[in-house]
Structure formats: structure tokens, C-alpha cells
Structure 1
Amino acid sequence: MKIKSLLFLISLVFFLSNVQGQDFDSKLEKLAEDTASKITENSKKKIAVWGFFEANGKQTALGNYITEDFSVYITNFGDDFEIIDRNHLDLLLKEHKLNAEGFIDNDTAKEIGKITAADAIITGTYSMVGADKVKVRVKVLDTESALQFAAKMGLLPLSEDLKDIANTSYDAGGTKTKGTTDNSNNCESDKGSLCFHNTTNEKMIVAVRYFKVADVKSRTMLTKTLILDAGKTKCLYELYDRRAEYYIVKFKTFTDDLEGVEVKITHPMYIKYLEDKGEIMVEACAEKTFTIK
């Protein structure tokens, strides 16, 4: 009797795990279907898949898994457009010596459009929710403007096999190891630095909106401005490892009135004056530099 009960429990665990795996696949497939629909509505014909990353911008084994499956699903739904998958895109990026890791910036998005003739780029992030769920966010960018024109989001359950993948670290060389990635400087902070380097011949103003507190549920953001002479670099320190927004405009646009400039730059009314805008992730224990070209 005990043996039968044990076999029943083992079978039940296997069944539930299999159902969760199927549920993950079906929900990821639905995200791809909805994304394909949005792409078709916007008359895009050639799509490049940049990939899915952790919310801090890191490439991971689970992110690669999501990228591969999402590419297959969206290809199946993309009757009206052509898909450039991540592997093919990697080869093109390396050939043109472009960075292929982490979040895509505006310049890279536009450059990919030129290199591949792609109309749009699919990218995304994911975050673990507890131990058995993952929140996946899909974004689609226009390669001409680098602006986002479509987005989808879903909460997907993880099977035991997928949990195993989620606990596998990954490096750019393709090596996979169980457990957490070793931090060589033993930094335990949840803060990092964000720098802006001005390579233009113009004096620039950069407005950065960042999270004031560590709580991921908080939407409290502060705005700081940096005024950069040509060829200069300035940084913001002790920022939490969260998404930050940047707005860049030529200094001469506001020469006559710099009062409240950080509010003006981030206001939709001034978008026509911007040289660039976008999102960038602050990484804990690291200093990330954005180059203004």
C-alpha cells in the first residue's frame, strides 16, 4: 500500500511539473502571437530578435531559453513578415563590431536597421516572481526612430526543469555553471554609477530620471541634470540598480533660461528638441557609461 502511495505521489509530481511546462510554453506562445499581431498592425515586414535579459540587463541561461523559444513562436505567427533570429543577428553584429550584450540603446537599434534592413527589433526583460514564476516583458522598437511602438507582458509558471535553468549562470563565452555568479570584488551593494561621455562638439544637457528608493514597487523617481562640455564626462553615483531614463538636448536650446530645465527636458512638449532619449539600467557594483555621439 505504501509503495502504491509513493508511486502515486511521484506520478502526481511528474504530471504537475509537465503541466506547468506546457503552461509556460502556451503562455509564451500567446505573448508571441499577440506581439506578431501588433507588428502586423504597424506594417512592419522584417523583424530582428535582440533577446530577453534579466531586469538588470544581464544575459542568462533562462533569458536565452526564452529568446530561442520566442523566436520560434513568432516565426510561426509571422506570415506577413520575415524574422532574423538571435543567432543570425549575433553574426551580423560581430561582423560590424557592435555590442551584442544587454539592453539595446538607440544608436544600436538604428544601426541594426541599417545593417539588416529590419523595420523593427524585438527585445525584452524578465524577472523572477517568487521561486516558481517569471514575469516576461516584450518590447518592439522601430529601427528608424528607436522608439517603442508595441509592448506585451505575461506571468509564466516554471516547471522543475525550467527552475533548474533559471538557477544556471551564464557567461558570454557560453559556459554554464550551477549556482550564483562569483563577484570578484565581493561587492554587496545594490547601487551603481551611471556616467555620460560627450563625444560631440556641442555642449549638452543630460537629464536623468532614476528611482529614489530601493523598493521595486515604488514609483518615486528623482531627476538630475548634468551639463557636459564637448569631450567631457560626468557621473551620477550611488544609484539603485534599477531602470533609469535619460534625456539629452543641446545646451544652446536652453541658454536663455536654465531654470527648471530638468522638468522642461522630460516634458513631452520638448520632445522635438531632444537629441536622444531612452532607458538604461544601473548595475549594482558597476559603473556604466553612455556615450553621446
Structure 2
Amino acid sequence: MMKRTIIAVAIILTFCNVTKAQTTYTKELENAAKEISQKLFSSGKTSVAVLDFENSNKQISELGSWLANVFTTQLENSSNNQFAVKNRTDIEKAIQQIKSESGSGAFDSKTIQRLGEISGSDVIVYGEITLMDNEITVNIRTKNISLNSTIGGVLISFTATDGMRTKYDNYIETKTSPSGNTSNSKTTASGEGSDRPSKNINCKTQMTGDYCFQNNTRFNITVRLVIYGGRGGVYSVLNECSLQPGQKQCFYNLESKSIDYIIVALKAGHQMNWSTSADYDYETKGSVYVETCKEKTFIIK
């Protein structure tokens, strides 16, 4: 009886700690968004672009992109319609255009100005994440694009969960910080995070690998792995999963080869109906390559 009581107490304490950590990070980001909003109100700026937050080594991790998404939502909720928060997908497209034009990912005064021109933004918000022991610290800063000067910033911290630690170690890409600091780290392929060993210990003889999809959007996403055959876009479904914002799911023991995918974002309050596009906001198709004995992650942004 005593043993059961101890186990029950341990489970309750664990649940409370996880809930507390989740509450803390959302509350901290909410308070930070309110404080940044006040600075934007005072500056008179009306259009804001939120960039992915970067790790202290200047790399973009899944955690950095995820926290930036959450912060974007909180900032929108705090705007009181006094400024507009740009769609992060559009900002990413603008950044990719700048990289294509300059041949570099460096953020200097000229590229910041260019980002403002393409996206129609007055201010950029960027952040740096530091993980120390069990605590995550995020330094969120704002920069006036026209003057290339800092408007202000907020420093927040919260308890790190195991999930946050994993996201912190999964890199999406390497870039140069808007603060002007550069990194010489290797950049991963567009849309993919860092490789990991696959789960199957017999992957080499069975020629299999794993592939994961990470939802870094604010939409509910459905992913289908498909095989096309015949005419008219007819396909058979290999596997399927649904992802909420910030969620990641993997398909294991896939045959090592190129696999086609279909990704759709559901409209709020709608159920998935593949026979009509009226139920989703957008659809994208493509292919990924499953490598033997590797686990790869596709970042949906």
C-alpha cells in the first residue's frame, strides 16, 4: 500500500512540474509580447516581422522556430490593432530571396533594409536562446529597420522540459544574426533538420530509414506519404499523420527511396476531407528521400 502511495505521489508531482513548465513559458512569452507591444506603441511603428529565434551558437533550432511562432501569436494578441504582425511564411520567403540576391545569409544594415522593403516591415523582432542546466533564457530584441537601431528588448526565462531540450538540439539551418554576429557552421538542406540514426538496428540489411515531419506553423497539418500511379494524380496512401502546431511525428522503417508527400493545412473548425479543398487553407506537394539507417526531419514552415 505504501509503495502504491509513493508511486502515485511521484506521478502527481511529475505532472505538476510539467504543467508548471508549460504554463511558465507561455506566460513568460505572453508578458514579453505585451512589453514589446508597448515599445512598439511608443515608437509609432505599424508593421512587425518576427524572425526565428536562434541558439547561442547562432544556429536556428526547432525550439527557436517554435518559440518564435508562439511569440508571434502572443504579439498579435497584444497588438490592439495598432500594428500588424507579418505572416512568418512571407518573412521566410523574403529572407530566402535576400539570400538568393546576395549569395549570403548575412544580416547587415543593407540586408535588414532589404527585408523591410520586401516584407513591408518597419521593425524586426529577433531572439537568442540559451540553455543552462534546467533553465532556458530568451533574449528578445527589436530593431528599427529604417534607422538600423534597437528599440528595446525583453529577457525571459523558464524551466526546460525534455521536449524543449530535444527541440534545442535539432537544428533547422544556420544563419547570421540580425545583431551582426556570424557563424561558420554548416547549413542543413532547406526544409530538413539534422540527421540522426534510425531506430531499426537491422536498417542496413533491410534497407530502411525513418522520416519525421515537424509542424512549425500555426495550423493543424495533415501529412500523407503517397505513391502515385496511373493518370489524373491517382495515388495510394502509404501512411498518414495529423500534426498540431509545434508537434512532430515520425514514420519508421520506410524503404530507402524517394517518397512523395502531400501536406494540407486545415481551416479552423473543419474536419479533413480529401475529396474537396474547401476544408483546408493550403496544400503543398513534394518528395523526400529516405536514407538507409538515418532519421531525417522535414520542417513545415
Alpha-carbon separation, structure 2, partners of 1:178 and 1:166: 14
Paired letter, 1:167: D
Percent identity of equivalent pairs: 17
Report the 3-state secondary structure (helix = DSSP H, G, I; strand = E; otherwise coil) of the residue aligned with 1:59: strand
Partner of 1:92: 94
After TM superposition, give the deviation of residue 117 of structure 1 in Å: 2.2
Partner of 2:115: 112
Alpha-carbon separation, structure 2, partners of 1:162 and 1:85: 24
Which one of the candidate residues 124, 129, 133 is aligned to 1:126? 129
- Correspondence list, 1:17-32, <5 A: 17-32=18-33
Paired letter, 1:107: K
- Correspondence list, 1:73-84, <5 A: 73-79=74-80, 80-84=82-86
Cα 1:110–1:169 shift into 2, 3 Å: closer
- Is residue 155 of structure 1 aligned with residue 172 of structure 2? no
Report the 3-state secondary structure (helix = DSSP H, G, I; strand = E; otherwise coil) of the residue aligned with 2:51: strand
Cα 1:4–1:175 shift into 2, 3 Å: farther
Which one of the candidate residues 133, 136, 139 is aligned to 2:138? 136
The TM-score, its normalising length taken from structure 2, stands at 0.54
Alpha-carbon separation, structure 2, partners of 1:102 and 1:31: 27
Partner of 1:40: 41
Partner of 2:222: none
Cα 1:115–1:167 shift into 2, 3 Å: closer
Partner of 1:3: 4
Partner of 1:63: 64
Contact 1:32 1:77 in 2 (8 A): yes
Contact 1:90 1:100 in 2 (8 A): no
The TM-score, its normalising length taken from structure 1, stands at 0.56
Paired letter, 1:92: A
Report the 3-state secondary structure (helix = DSSP H, G, I; strand = E; otherwise coil) of the residue aligned with 1:153: strand
Alpha-carbon separation, structure 2, partners of 1:140 and 1:12: 38
Poorly superposed stretches of 4+, deviation over 6 Å = 99-103
Q: CA RMSD in A?
A: 2.5
Paired letter, 2:124: I
Paired letter, 1:8: V
- Is residue 174 of structure 1 aligned with residue 191 of structure 2? yes
When the two structures are aligned, how many residues end up with a matched partner?
Answer: 179
After TM superposition, give the deviation of residue 139 of structure 1 in Å: 1.1
Alpha-carbon separation, structure 2, partners of 1:100 and 1:13: 48
Residues 19-65 of structure 1: CA deviation (Å, up to 9, x unaligned) = 11111111111111111110111001011112210122111111111
Cα 1:33–1:16 shift into 2, 3 Å: same
Contact 1:39 1:150 in 2 (8 A): no
Cα 1:141–1:17 shift into 2, 3 Å: same
Cα 1:151–1:75 shift into 2, 3 Å: same
After TM superposition, give the deviation of residue 114 of structure 1 in Å: 1.5
Alpha-carbon separation, structure 2, partners of 1:35 and 1:140: 8
Paired letter, 1:50: L
Residues 114-142 of structure 1: CA deviation (Å, up to 9, x unaligned) = 22221111111111122x21111111111
After TM superposition, give the deviation of residue 177 of structure 1 in Å: 4.8
Cα 1:30–1:98 shift into 2, 3 Å: farther
Cα 1:99–1:77 shift into 2, 3 Å: farther
Report the 3-state secondary structure (helix = DSSP H, G, I; strand = E; otherwise coil) of the residue aligned with 1:104: coil
Alpha-carbon separation, structure 2, partners of 1:7 and 1:101: 55
Residues 209-251 of structure 1: CA deviation (Å, up to 9, x unaligned) = xxxxxxxxxxxxxxxxxxxxxxxxxxxxxxxxxxxxxxxxxxx
- Correspondence list, 1:201-216, <5 A: none
Contact 1:136 1:153 in 2 (8 A): yes
After TM superposition, give the deviation of residue 95 of structure 1 in Å: 4.0
